[in-house]
Chains A and B, each alone.
Chain A
């Protein structure tokens, strides 16, 4: 009964969004299902029945508890993994390999340790311009000079000081590293930016300043962003759309993992103020409750106290 109500809600949200904005579909997942072999003859289903249309310019946050398949979903879009059944289409081409359609910012190891911050940022555009052997032409030098200037300006707008740009990643703080990593990905102007728990290893104040920064960058260039996190507040603050994934229960093989797919009302208030507003709290509590109801811990309690669970709804 609970699941039926949620599905209805998800569809409502979808209808309400598509009608006013006829935008291009950037990422499409059709009946995607991912299974891993587990044990001798069993399979473990991580994702099942995923049908998602992510529109151009959307900022989608994917929220869920550990092991619910949110990183798997990201790797599907990236092309690092492939669905057991179903199709993944990015930028109107099916995903076969990891390529430059997506920018990628992981939680750790996001920068090349052997390059300076500036070297990291110009690596991508250099590659895009010419292969390993096209670097000896004189026009390449001119290109490199303008590219460097562009990269310096971009890094400065991301809040890096000039003297930090020639430092190696291990000399930068975690927050600075992630700033550089975002700049590195965005220098390629990818249609899609994928972020996998990108801010999860940062302390709270660095984290919120990076959230503000990311929001600013997103407003400037409007890439399609898929942001995986396990922090509800982060998901609600950053996103224009929230997708809540639940752990797949083996008892209902065909049930979709998507617990909630909703649009987040836009707001121009700064994050610090917005996160203290009453509506925000209400939304936060609501998402947490939906997540809690599907969590494995709750399912255990559910068996002994079925009435209590209904009471929360």
Chain B
């Protein structure tokens, strides 16, 4: 028989709340946040109908619609006969997203060699001897403090921002891959050699294949710092991109654009993370997280 509910159970560890309860409770803070926002918006708009700090739903909708269908202020306005596709394509949101996504994806592509460096450091003793200490040292350098040097070396165009992301996340990813690959039991390597494996077989077909799911999880965790460095770079020196727009809108309190933008960024990151997680599960059905 199920014991009846007792107020003390709310802080109990051994309680077993029903699924309905846990599901509804998980939405409580969202509802509370939205309610608080609506309340603030109503109060502020009673004082000043043109308030821009806490926009109403209508203002947000207009802001979103303009962002998604109208070109940015600095771009050429579209003529009235443009199709929906042309409008979306020329819009502020689309152009900003494309500019940021391009930097983000190039940085991820440049991080792939970092993964292989970490793998080789863990498997080949001479690789480890050469690189390990240096990467450990490099990891401690605050990447943003390198920004002046990056501007000098790579100019203030695209590459300084991309390199900021790579330098900020790369060493951590190298060390993480190193640790993951090191944790493969020695028995596996020994066994592989007794089965006539070559060095490359052991590195790629035994160790790499085995740790790939963990490496993908590590990349998933790095998405957030990557976005952070991207935004830092774009806010400091850029003429397009999502963070550039947010920094620009901040100057004239354009919350009706900033709020949709930050939710859009969160959604994009969530989707990328979900894609990697899904791919990981599908590609590695044998993986048992411990």
Report yes or no: A109 in contact with B187, Cβ–Cβ below 8 A.
yes
Report yes or no: B286 in contact with A100, Cβ–Cβ below 8 A.
no
Tell whether A174 is near chain B: CB-to-CB under 8 Å: no
In the bound assembly, the distance between CA atoms of A99 and B189 in angstroms comes to: 11
**A residues near B, CB below 8 A?**
78, 80, 97-100, 102-104, 106, 108-110, 112-115, 123-124, 127-128, 131-132, 168-170, 184-185, 188, 190
Report yes or no: A100 in contact with B196, Cβ–Cβ below 8 A.
yes
Interface residues of B, count at CB 8 A: 24
Report yes or no: B194 in contact with A103, Cβ–Cβ below 8 A.
yes
List the A side residues contacting B284 at CB < 8 Å: 114
Report yes or no: B195 in contact with A110, Cβ–Cβ below 8 A.
no
List the B side residues contacting A113 at CB < 8 Å: 210, 286-288
Report yes or no: B190 in contact with A78, Cβ–Cβ below 8 A.
yes
Report yes or no: A112 in contact with B206, Cβ–Cβ below 8 A.
yes
Tell whether B26 is near chain A: CB-to-CB under 8 Å: no
Query: Please, could you name 7 A-B residue pairs with CB atoms under 8 Å apart, sorted by A?
Result: A99-B196, A100-B194, A109-B188, A124-B195, A124-B196, A127-B198, A188-B195
Report yes or no: A99 in contact with B209, Cβ–Cβ below 8 A.
no
Tell me how far the C-beta of A157 lies from the nearest C-beta in chain B, rounded to whole angstroms. Answer: 20
Tell whether B109 is near chain A: CB-to-CB under 8 Å: no
Report yes or no: A110 in contact with B187, Cβ–Cβ below 8 A.
yes
In the bound assembly, the distance between CA atoms of A189 and B186 in angstroms comes to: 23
List the B side residues contacting A185 at CB < 8 Å: 194-195
In the bound assembly, the distance between CA atoms of A98 and B205 in angstroms comes to: 18
In the bound assembly, the distance between CA atoms of A185 and B194 in angstroms comes to: 8
Give the most central of B185, B190, B191, B201: most A CB within 10 Å.
B191
Report yes or no: A168 in contact with B194, Cβ–Cβ below 8 A.
no
Report yes or no: A127 in contact with B196, Cβ–Cβ below 8 A.
yes
Report yes or no: B201 in contact with A127, Cβ–Cβ below 8 A.
yes
Query: Which 10 residue pairs across A and B have the least CB separation, nearest first?
Result: A124-B195, A98-B193, A109-B185, A168-B286, A109-B187, A106-B187, A100-B196, A127-B196, A104-B194, A128-B196
List the A side residues contacting B288 at CB < 8 Å: 113, 170
Tell me how far the C-beta of B81 lies from the nearest C-beta in chain A, rounded to whole angstroms. Answer: 55
List the A side residues contacting B194 at CB < 8 Å: 78, 98-100, 102-104, 124, 185, 188, 190
Give the most central of A78, A98, A108, A190: most B CB within 10 Å.
A98
In the bound assembly, the distance between CA atoms of A112 and B187 in angstroms comes to: 10
Given A114-B210, A170-B286, A185-B195, 11 new contacts (CB under 8 A) = A78-B190, A78-B194, A100-B196, A106-B190, A109-B185, A109-B188, A110-B191, A124-B195, A132-B200, A168-B286, A190-B194
Report yes or no: B190 in contact with A98, Cβ–Cβ below 8 A.
yes
**B residues near A, CB below 8 A?**
185-188, 190-198, 200-201, 205-206, 209-210, 284-288
Report yes or no: A188 in contact with B206, Cβ–Cβ below 8 A.
no
List the B side residues contacting A112 at CB < 8 Å: 188, 191-192, 206, 210
Given A114-B286, A127-B195: A108 and B185 interface contact (C-beta under 8 Å): yes
Among residues of A, the one whose C-beta sits closest to the C-beta of B185 is: A109
In the bound assembly, the distance between CA atoms of A190 and B193 in angstroms comes to: 12
Among residues of B, the one whose C-beta sits closest to the C-beta of A196 is: B187
Given A170-B286, A188-B195: A132 and B210 interface contact (C-beta under 8 Å): no
Among B186, B193, B206, contact of A99 (Cβ-Cβ < 8 Å): B193
List the B side residues contacting A114 at CB < 8 Å: 209-210, 284, 286-287
List the B side residues contacting A80 at CB < 8 Å: 186, 190
Among residues of B, the one whose C-beta sits closest to the C-beta of A103 is: B194
Tell me how far the C-beta of B55 lies from the nearest C-beta in chain A, rounded to whole angstroms. Answer: 52
Tell me how far the C-beta of A201 lies from the nearest C-beta in chain B, rounded to whole angstroms. Answer: 13
In the bound assembly, the distance between CA atoms of A102 and B191 in angstroms comes to: 10
List the A side residues contacting B209 at CB < 8 Å: 114
In the bound assembly, the distance between CA atoms of A184 and B191 in angstroms comes to: 10
Tell me how far the C-beta of B286 lies from the nearest C-beta in chain A, rounded to whole angstroms. Answer: 4
Among residues of A, the one whose C-beta sits closest to the C-beta of B197 is: A127
Tell me how far the C-beta of A165 lies from the nearest C-beta in chain B, rounded to whole angstroms. Answer: 14
Tell me how far the C-beta of B22 lies from the nearest C-beta in chain A, rounded to whole angstroms. Answer: 29
List the A side residues contacting B195 at CB < 8 Å: 100, 123-124, 127-128, 184-185, 188
Tell me how far the C-beta of A180 lies from the nearest C-beta in chain B, rounded to whole angstroms. Answer: 12
In the bound assembly, the distance between CA atoms of A78 and B201 in angstroms comes to: 19
List the B side residues contacting A106 at CB < 8 Å: 187, 190-191
